[in-house]
Every structure is written in C-alpha cells, then in structure tokens.
Structure 1
Amino acid sequence: MVQAYNFLASWQLFPEKCTYEKGMPPRSGNYRIDSVNEQQELNIQINWVSLDNEAYYSQYEMRPDGKTRPFSDHSLAECIRSEIVNGSTIIVDFLRSEESVLQVKKEILSNGYLRITQTGKDEAGNDFRNIDIYHKQLSVLPYASSVGSVVIKPTEEGVIKHKALQAMEEQTNMHLDQIRQQIELLARQAQEIRKRKELSMMVYQAKLNFQPVIGHTYYLYQKMDSTHILSMISPKEWGGNGPFRQFIAAVKLLADHTWMEEKYAEQGHTAQ
C-alpha cells in the first residue's frame, strides 16, 4: 500500500483536458481514492455532473495485488483484477468470462496530475479509449468525475450534492467577484495617491513666492534652468509659457496639503 500513497487524495477533473471516444466529457468531476483498512484495499469514489446538469455517483473497492476477485456489480463485470505496477501506475481490469471488458489505468504524471485512461468496447463492439485528467484538490469536495467509469447511476444523494454544490459555487464566485472589485478599486486609489504624492513632491520642490490657498488652482512651470516654479498666472494669461521653458500642469491644493492635477487645455497646452 506504500506504493499507492501518491494516489490517496481527492482529484478534481479538468474537463477541457479530457479526450473521449465514447460519450461526452462531464461538466465537472471528482475522483477520490482512499485506503480502506489494513487488508490493503482501496476505495474508489467517483462523482460527476453531466453537461445537462445531471448528478451521478459510483463507488467500488479493489485490492491491488494482481489477484482476480468477484465484482459486486455484475451489470459491468463478473470479476475485478487490480495491480500496482509502480509508485505512479495502477491498472484495473474488469472481467467477464475471464476477458477484460474495461481496463482503467491510473497514472501520476510528472506534473503531478492524475491521468485516468479507460479502454474497452462500446455497445457496437468497437474499441474506445477515454482519457480524464485531474489535479489534486487541497481540500476535499464531494464532487464529480468520469462518464465512462464503472456503472454510474443517478442517486438522490448525488442530486442533493449537485444542488448544494451549485449554490456553494454561486455564493463563493459572488464573494470572490466582490473581493476582486474591491482589490481593483484599492489599486486605482493607490495609483491615484501615488500620482498625487509625486506631483506634490514636485510642487513643494518648486520655487514659491506666495502662500497657496486650499481649493485654489495654480500653474506649475519648468524654468529655463530646469527647476520648477508655481505661479498664479495661467498660460492663457501669459499668452504662452511666459518666461518659462514649458507649462507642466494645472494643480489644486487639497485640504490634506497634497496637490491634485486638474484638466487644462488652452492654445495647444494640455494637462490631465
């Protein structure tokens, strides 16, 4: 059972990574593998939600020692044989008349994903192969997996869980969206404060020949020696940049003594 340690987890399906030759990939899925007892048995629980929102559940046990044993659900197979090939591969065969009717290969990939490959024959006797890809869940949720798995039947429990899952997803998605909007708002506010701080530093380093009044608008210019000066006279009143190299911005003094840039457009000068 030590070799099966890597498999013991709840695995969440990547529907977009599935490839199916029989049936359609589910909307969502969960594949859970647990150790049952000291008899070296594994318990497989499979939950999934179809594209038309039907919830399904399946469960079976296996002892991966390579021996053939009776299988409880004769609608699929008479016997089951499972074997741990190595620490990253388990092969399960479902047998009827000593022949495999469905083989399920469970593999831990190099990227940590779980790949479930199912091979068998469809109702017309044609070979098929379905592949599911899962990632390990950090927390255990009671949902959803493979459409081609061992006889999967709709249950009242599955429908109840599906409805609960839908409600949970709607609520958590709503809260996450609210948090995202709050983060975006805080980011915009932080950017605005940072911009106001940079402008305020420029203004306070500029030459100032008067006492600014809160709420009034003034004009920041660059002088010929590249230093800055704050003036009460606008470019319009100067008839251009006046005696300065260039007009920088129209600025207003706020109550917290920071400076805010104001829109100004006159005779080709634009400050925003």
Structure 2
Amino acid sequence: MVDLYNFLYSWQLFPEKGTYEFGRRPKSGNYKMQWRTESNSLSIAINWVTLEDQAFTSEYSVPGDGLFHTLEDNPLANKIKLSIINSLTFEVIFAQDELESLRIRHEIMPSSLLKITQSNLLDPEKILTNTEIYHKQFSVLPYASSASGAVVKQNEEGLIRHKALTAMEEQTNMQLEQIRKQIELLALQAKEIVTRKELSMLIYESKLNFAPVIGQSYYLYETKENSHILSMIAPNEWGRKPMPYKSFVSMVKLLADHTWVEIKHQGDYSSSLTATGQ
C-alpha cells in the first residue's frame, strides 16, 4: 500500500532511547512490517530480547480497510483495526469487545527514524505508555525488540541466536580494535619513515667533506648562503672563534639503511647546553 510505503522495512531498536511504563524492557529488538497484497493487510513481526536474556516473538496481521476485525488467541483483545492517518503516521488499535485496550502509534520522524508509542488503555484512569525509537535495518539480524498487543511467545531459538550474535559481535569488535591499533601503529611508523626520508634528502643534498659512518652522530648546520652542511663539530666545540655558519639545525645519526634520524633539535641542544653550563 502506497500510504504505508515509508514503514515497510525491517527496523532495529535503539534500546537506550526508549521509555517504558509497562511490560519488560528490551535490550535489543527488531520490528518488521510488510504489506500482503493478496490479503490487503499489514503484517507485523516483532522479535525482542529482555534484559534477563529472554527472547520473544510476536506476529499479527491487520486488514487495511480501516474496520475492526476479529483477533484470535489474544487474552488482551479480540478485535484489531488499522487506522492510516497519513503517509508518515498510522495506528494499530486493539480492543476487547467495544473497549480499546491497546493503541500503537507508528510515526516516521524528521530524522527518518521510526517512533512507536504503545498506550495501554486497560485502565482509563491510568494510561501507561511505552515509547521506542528504531532505525532502518538493511541487513536483518534475527533478534529484536519490545512487544505490541499480539500473542507473545517465548522463543528459545531466538535466545540461542542472540547469545551467538552477542559473542560474535564481541569477538569481531575485539579484532577490529586490534586492527585499528595496528593501523595507528603503521601510520605512526609511516610518518617516521617519511620524516627520516625528508631529513635524509636534505642531508644528501648538503655539503659533505667526509664519509659518514653508520651509527655515528653528526651536526647539521645552515650556511650563510642558505644551504646546508654536515659537520663532525658540535655547536659547543667551536671554541672562542665564532661558529662559521648561520645556524645549527640538529644533531643527526646515520642508520644502517643509510637514512638519517634526528637526535636533537636546535632547541633541545640549546637547552642541554644551558643545563650543563656550556
């Protein structure tokens, strides 16, 4: 039916967004709606798991003609009616004889989430309300949410499935977390390699008056001509004569793969000299 097109999906419960005044609070849930063309009726299937790890299912169909129809095997109601308000709102009404016992309002919110409001009308002086929020579930999982007014049956198979899915989710989340940490480590290592490469390119483009030895440390300076030179003399080893270069850049070390790594930056080296009184 065109009027219900926006609802004909499988919806996954946001358990933390719900408020409950009656019944058992679910910790997971699925709400599936389908239109049966052959019977001109709306089919609703609900699965949910309680906080106590009890799994339940509920299924019912309601004709789309807007009239009350007989509902069998339900201790709370013997009649049911579908009331379509507009393309974004409809209600399913359960009644015991002529008195409404449960009204379930379905609304598509501006955020495209599904809001289901269940109003328990058994006591007109104290109407109890449950509100649930769902999002579209494009890959259907076989466990789910809270009940409506149809017959509720405990489902051992659903509980087993839920426990298996919970274990699977914990394991895959743990594996994904390990992969995430590995990716972060690889990204850090890649950044370090890029830094070493850039420093190495700078040094190999600098003036070298000697053959560097692997594992030894040297000193990189910027010349007055804005080029660079590698020296074996530290900034504090020039004695009384002024340093012949524009500035000291960093202390560097040649690694076995012929890349260079920075040992001390200019600021770090200056701080260490100050601390030692040099």
TM-score range, shorter chain: 0.7 to 0.9
Q: Is this contact kept in 1: 2:103–2:121, CA < 8 A?
A: no
Deviations 1:248-270 (A, max 9, x none): 22222234432222257656249
Alignment correspondent of 1:36:
36
Q: Following superposition of structure 1 onto structure 2, how do residues 219-258 of structure 1 map, counting pairs within 5 Å?
A: 219-238=219-238, 242-258=243-259
Q: Following superposition of structure 1 onto structure 2, how do residues 79-98 of structure 1 map, counting pairs within 5 Å?
A: 79-98=79-98
Q: Is this contact kept in 1: 2:74–2:150, CA < 8 A?
A: no
Q: Where do 5+ consecutive residues of structure 1 fail to align?
A: none
Structure whose alpha-carbon radius of gyration is higher: 2
Q: Following superposition of structure 1 onto structure 2, how do residues 1-272 of structure 1 map, counting pairs within 5 Å?
A: 1-23=1-23, 25-121=25-121, 126-146=126-146, 150-238=150-238, 242-263=243-264, 268-269=271-272
Give the length in aligned residue pairs. Answer: 270
Q: What is the CA-CA distance between 1:125 and the residue it aligns to?
A: 5.3
Q: Where do 5+ consecutive residues of structure 2 fail to align?
A: 274-278
Secondary structure of the corresponding residue to residue 67 of structure 1:
coil
Q: Structure 2 length normalisation: TM-score?
A: 0.84
Q: Is this contact kept in 2: 1:47–1:58, CA < 8 A?
A: yes
Q: What is the CA-CA distance between 1:105 and the residue it aligns to?
A: 1.0
After superposition, the Cα gap between the structure-2 partners of 1:170 and 1:239, relative to the gap in structure 1 and judged at 3 Å, is farther
Matched to 1:268, the amino acid is: S
Q: Is this contact kept in 2: 1:91–1:104, CA < 8 A?
A: yes
Q: Structure 1 length normalisation: TM-score?
A: 0.86
Matched to 2:80, the amino acid is: I
After superposition, the Cα gap between the structure-2 partners of 1:130 and 1:237, relative to the gap in structure 1 and judged at 3 Å, is same
Q: Partners of 1:24 and 1:238 in 2: how far apart?
A: 82
Q: Is this contact kept in 1: 2:119–2:129, CA < 8 A?
A: yes
Q: Is this contact kept in 1: 2:220–2:248, CA < 8 A?
A: yes
After superposition, the Cα gap between the structure-2 partners of 1:57 and 1:228, relative to the gap in structure 1 and judged at 3 Å, is same
Q: Partners of 1:149 and 1:238 in 2: how far apart?
A: 91
Percent identity at matched positions?
Answer: 52
Q: Partners of 2:218 and 2:152 in 1: how far apart?
A: 75
Q: Partners of 2:221 and 2:143 in 1: how far apart?
A: 65
Secondary structure of the corresponding residue to residue 65 of structure 1:
coil
Q: Partners of 2:122 and 2:25 in 1: how far apart?
A: 16
Matched to 1:190, the amino acid is: A
Q: What is the CA-CA distance between 1:213 and the residue it aligns to?
A: 3.0
Q: Is this contact kept in 2: 1:54–1:154, CA < 8 A?
A: yes
Q: Partners of 1:37 and 1:191 in 2: how far apart?
A: 60
Q: What is the CA-CA distance between 1:114 and the residue it aligns to?
A: 0.9
Q: What is the CA-CA distance between 1:198 and the residue it aligns to?
A: 2.6
Q: Partners of 1:243 and 1:15 in 2: how far apart?
A: 72
After superposition, the Cα gap between the structure-2 partners of 1:125 and 1:50, relative to the gap in structure 1 and judged at 3 Å, is farther
Q: What is the CA-CA distance between 1:89 and the residue it aligns to?
A: 1.6
Secondary structure of the corresponding residue to residue 66 of structure 2:
strand
Q: What is the CA-CA distance between 1:236 and the residue it aligns to?
A: 4.5
Q: What is the CA-CA distance between 1:47 and the residue it aligns to?
A: 1.6
Matched to 1:84, the amino acid is: I
After superposition, the Cα gap between the structure-2 partners of 1:239 and 1:55, relative to the gap in structure 1 and judged at 3 Å, is farther
